[in-house]
Chains A and B, each alone.
Chain A
Amino acid sequence: MARVLLALWTKEWLALSRDVLGLAVLFLMPAAFIVVMSLALSDALKEGTRVTDFAVLGDPALAERLAGEGFRAVPAPADEARARERLRRGALGLVVLAPAQPDGSGRVTVLADPAIDALRLLAFRERLLGAALGIDLKQAANVAVEVVGSPRPARPSSVQQNVPAWLIFGMFFVVLPISALFIVERRDGTAARLRSQQVRFSLLLAGKIGPFFVINLLQTVLMLAAGVTLVPWLGGEALSLPARWDLLAIVAACTSLAAIGWGLLVAVCARTLEQATVIGGVGNILAAALGGIMVPRFVMPSAMQAVAGLSPMAWALDGFHAVILRQGSAADIALPCAKLLSLAAVLFAVALWREQRQP
């Protein structure tokens, strides 16, 4: 059996190494997505470092007191009308209209850009109240905040979101070469010839699993490397690698098995290359759209977030985030890995069952 597997793996490697386009899809496509999306979303997914420009009309000292903690004071416009105009154009985030009375009493009005996040607005209001009450906001920064209980998952930065997301997307794209190899084997009669040589279908499956598993692991290493080196080289944020490489490898392995299982099922069900391309490609894109690959799950409404939890790509992303983002333990990746492995087992079983139903 070992001899048969060795022959199958060698053949698969030779075939894959000569399929330049197939390899380009597996390696260049996710790398390109990682770079483009990490750079494109680098500001949008920044949270702690986001800066809002504001101006204070009529009280330069107040502007100085309010500045800090993500709020930057800019020179005030000449009057309220010009301030409103700059807000409408998005050139300013907030404008404080200080009271006109010399003693400082009276109503304080804050004009806000409608694009300002409600939490940011609230934070600014707190700063304004603090300033009005005479609290030294610079000293207030010494106030310690303690998070009590289990913290909510942190939001990933752009590179933390996009590297694992597009890596997973690329890993699931093994569906195309796997199904193409199977279909071409059926079409050209090599599958029938192998059957006549009494090569069991389970061995043929194993012959595909080995090489594509290695391909998926190579994708993992190269895409992480792209996040660490290529993205910062192009001006984005660098990906911080986790301390637990073993956990990362386990998540990658479970994701790979699920992706290969999906590829094998498509290979067995599709009759033509066109069918495989449509089923595999569209299936991947839907799973990616749903699973928080294309659009981060945390920006989805809660109902959609619940639906997103059905996508295997979301399980894989949860696993990667547990390791990369939250530096989690084995317990943190147990559930996503169990889901991925269960899915892989079901997909392999269905592929075997379906093939054995053929006369």
Chain B
Amino acid sequence: MAGLSLREVSFRYPSASEVALQRLTLAIPRGGIFGLLGPNGAGKTTLVALIAGQRHGASGEMLLDDVALAEARRRAPRSLGLVPQEHAFYPMLTCRENLRFFGGVQGLGAARLRERVAAVSAFARLEPVLERRAGELSGGLKRRLNLAIGLLTEPEVLLLDEPTVGVDAQTRAFLLEQIRALAAPHRIIVYTSHYMEEVQAICDHVAIIDHGRVLLAGPLAEVLQDSAGFLALGLSAPLPAALAAEWRARYDLREEGAQRYRMRVGAADLVQALQAAQAAGCEPLSLAYGERDLESLFMRLTERSLRD
């Protein structure tokens, strides 16, 4: 399929005991924004580094439109842009000097460089601070400069690794709006974030990864739809073992604390299930049922909070 395909990608850091990525398979389509979610240490940044060519030595395949990614990048070296988590620019240089440098090392000629510096400065609204040293900028402006540098070559593949970390609400809203505006039919955008609400707000596709594996992937609407029908139940007494075993098999029952349970129950079975609990002497004390948001889905899948 057209887009970026990762097939059975595995990677281990030298001297690390655990693999960072385990046979990870993902299809990242063109058009829209692909959200990559995972707790710290899940493998998001490693995956971004492998796609960006910062790290080597992974097994498996990485294909861009069915061509090996490395070969595709050899053919079009400016096809990929990266906006890393860090403020990856030179603090002693001005914003303009940074933009000119990063454009220059990507081989942009003088006229094209001038044009692109002007374009990305306007896009990230950096014009008023172009002559200021980057190290003297506020956190929000630094993030905007970081983004602008990633856009200098109008890349076909854009990797955004937590691009809103540490900014105020206003800057975050601005960045999200601008990033959303970057989505185009020809472009592949991978967006990693700790912030579920961001991903839910701007992404069209999402993958949740943990321990280097994909736990869930697909269009955001389908993922959320797929997670509908979860029941969170607090009971007056523990479920009898036989009923618990039956529900485990039928409803994927999970215990979430003392007499607190979570399971996936279709609307048609909901009343029947509650009656069965009552018949077993377990009165429902609390109950929540319905479509889930990304954060609770994430917590269920990874069994830990996103910001752990």
Residues of A within 8 A of B (CB): 3-4, 6-8, 10-11, 14-15, 18-19, 188-190, 192-199, 359
Contact = CB atoms under 8 A, between A and B. Distances in A.
Which 8 A-B pairs rank lowest in CB-CB distance, beginning with the nearest? A7-B104, A189-B86, A189-B88, A196-B52, A193-B88, A196-B82, A11-B101, A18-B92
B8 to A, nearest CB: 18
A151 B87 CA distance: 62
Given A15-B92, A196-B52, A7 B82 contact: no
Among B49, B73, B91, B104, chain A packs the most CB atoms within 10 A around the CB of B104
Contacts of A194: 105
A6 B104 contact: yes
A19 B135 CA distance: 13
B97 A14 contact: yes
B89 A195 contact: no
Given A4-B107, A10-B104, A196-B53, A190 B89 contact: yes
A192 B54 CA distance: 6
A193 B149 contact: yes
A195 B104 contact: no
Contacts of A197: 77, 82, 102, 105-106
A8 B159 CA distance: 24
Given A195-B53, A196-B54, A359 B13 contact: yes
Contact of A8 (B73, B103, B105): B105
B91 to A, nearest CB: 8
Nearest to A356: B56
Given A192-B49, A198-B53, A15 B80 contact: no
A14 B104 contact: no
Among B85, B87, B102, chain A packs the most CB atoms within 10 A around the CB of B102
B109 interface: yes
- Interface SS, B side: loop
Given A15-B92, A190-B90, A196-B53, 13 more contacts: A3-B104, A3-B108, A4-B104, A7-B100, A7-B103, A7-B104, A14-B93, A19-B92, A188-B86, A192-B84, A197-B105, A359-B13, A359-B56
A198 B97 contact: no
B248 interface: no
A19 B56 CA distance: 34
Nearest to B161: A189
A3 B107 contact: yes
B185 interface: no
Contacts of B14: 359
B57 interface: yes
A133 B159 CA distance: 97
Given A4-B105, A190-B88, A190-B89, A198 B54 contact: no
A199 B105 contact: yes
Among B13, B49, B80, B90, chain A packs the most CB atoms within 10 A around the CB of B90
B80 A196 contact: yes
A16 to B, nearest CB: 9
Contact of B87 (A15, A19, A189, A192): A189
A198 B73 contact: yes
B55 interface: yes
B54 A195 contact: yes
Contacts of A19: 92
A39 B90 CA distance: 42
Contacts of B101: 7, 10-11
